[in-house]
Amino acid sequence: MTANHRTLWMLKDGIAFLNHGSFGAVPRCVFDEQNDWRRRIEAEPVEILGRRCRDLLAAAKIPVGQLLRMRPDDFGFVTNATEAINAVFRCLKINSGDELLTTTHVYNAIRQTMRFTAERASATYREIDIRTPIYSGQQIMDAILANLSDRTRLLVIDHVTSPTALVFPVEQIVAACGSRGIDVLIDGAHAPGMLDLSVTAIHAAYYTGNLHKWACAPKGSAFLWVRPDRQADIHPNIISHHLGQGFGREFDWQGTRDISAFLATPCALDFMGDLGWSEVRRQNHDLAVWAHQMLFEKWNVPPLSPLDGSLLGSMATAQLPAPLCDMAEDAAQRFQQFLYDEHQIEVPLIRWQERWHIRVSCQVYNGPEDYLRLAGAIDGSISSAF
């Protein structure tokens, strides 16, 4: 799949792009489709943004709902997962003394959202420290369940964690919390396109996912799904004309905005669907498992999760070998830039459990040679000062 597929994306020649996870990357045809929508909007601004906006968004929601198994009425388009989570937190009635709970694997922007919300409500914010190595989903479940309390107002769980690239057993966590009357918000920023996902089956109170990461939609395409029994209380961050007219209607219109990313999302889903979703997922997962094992064997570092890949999706995080794992913050920043400038490798460096790690992403345009180049560059950097 790999060599040919690279030409279907717009990535700069020569770069080993191992960071699909941060912002995604669009195929050329999706970029063209979005531009086409932008041209159409400028040709007929009122026809498209005024009279036809609702119908166009409704049509764009159909394939998203089919892929991720959501009823179109139960989700709204938003620009990104951060926006979706902010919307939920702004609408929740949080009392002083309540606890907002998540884990140490939380994405930092969401940590800040939760802290901010807790502070304003005189509530508490707490992270469950789930240390790696993690051997099973059960270990994650046990750590979370042991930390729930009568004060837990909302639990935020990542479906695929950002620093550690682990797939959490969200369905089981939601079921266990449900039996204790605790609502769960799932941060599925990485899940759409990476996992075979049925949002409705997870049955969380709230689920957000980015379409601009692993579904390869244009940047600024994401959704917030809310369980029907919670929809009346949830509104978008932008309160506009349709307040009180229903969840879907409120999310459809949030003032004048560029809706081209949403309208081009079906094109991305068609493109990836033509490659074959299950084939894409299987290939990306297999490559992540192989890269994880290969880096582990070369560097002889402690793995964060089982080497059989049972807790991985299409990304893997590995600790850097000594002495790189102990770099100071500014040295780590310089090292990342060095990998890009000198070796043409784009890869994120991540601080986890007091050590520096790298996280590799695997998308259909990647091949084993990209990860071997990374391993070679790291080996060379240990012997020479970079």
Ligand X SMILES: Cc1ncc(COP(=O)(O)O)c(C=O)c1O
Residue numbers of the site for ligand X (CB under 6 A)? 22, 80-82, 107, 109-110, 158, 162, 187, 189-190, 210
In the complex, minimum distance from the CB of residue 25 to ligand X, in angstroms, rounded to a whole number: 13
Phi-psi region of 170 (alpha: psi -120 to 50; beta: other; left: phi over 0): alpha
Nearer to ligand X, 241 or 351 (CB): 351
Contact 218, 197 (CB under 8 A): no
Spell out a b/e string for 58-70, using b for 16 or more CB atoms within 10 Å of the CB, else e. eebbebbbebbeb
Can you give 108-145 as a three-state secondary structure string?
HHHHHHHHHHHHHCCCEEEEECCCCCCCCHHHHHHHHH
In the complex, minimum distance from the CB of residue 282 to ligand X, in angstroms, rounded to a whole number: 22
In the complex, minimum distance from the CB of residue 135 to ligand X, in angstroms, rounded to a whole number: 22
Residue type, 339: L
In the complex, minimum distance from the CB of residue 80 to ligand X, in angstroms, rounded to a whole number: 3
Nearer to ligand X, 186 or 378 (CB): 186
Nearer to ligand X, 202 or 377 (CB): 202
In the complex, minimum distance from the CB of residue 74 to ligand X, in angstroms, rounded to a whole number: 20
Nearer to ligand X, 21 or 65 (CB): 21
Instruction: For residue 296, give every residue at least 6 positions away whose Cβ sits within 8 Å of its Cβ, in sequence order, or none.
Output: 303, 307, 318
Nearer to ligand X, 80 or 305 (CB): 80
Can you give 251-266 as a three-state secondary structure string?
HHCCCCCCCHHHHCHH
Nearer to ligand X, 80 or 200 (CB): 80
Contact 21, 359 (CB under 8 A): yes
In the complex, minimum distance from the CB of residue 117 to ligand X, in angstroms, rounded to a whole number: 16
Instruction: For residue 283, give every residue at least 6 positions away whose Cβ sits within 8 Å of its Cβ, in sequence order, or none.
Output: 1, 364
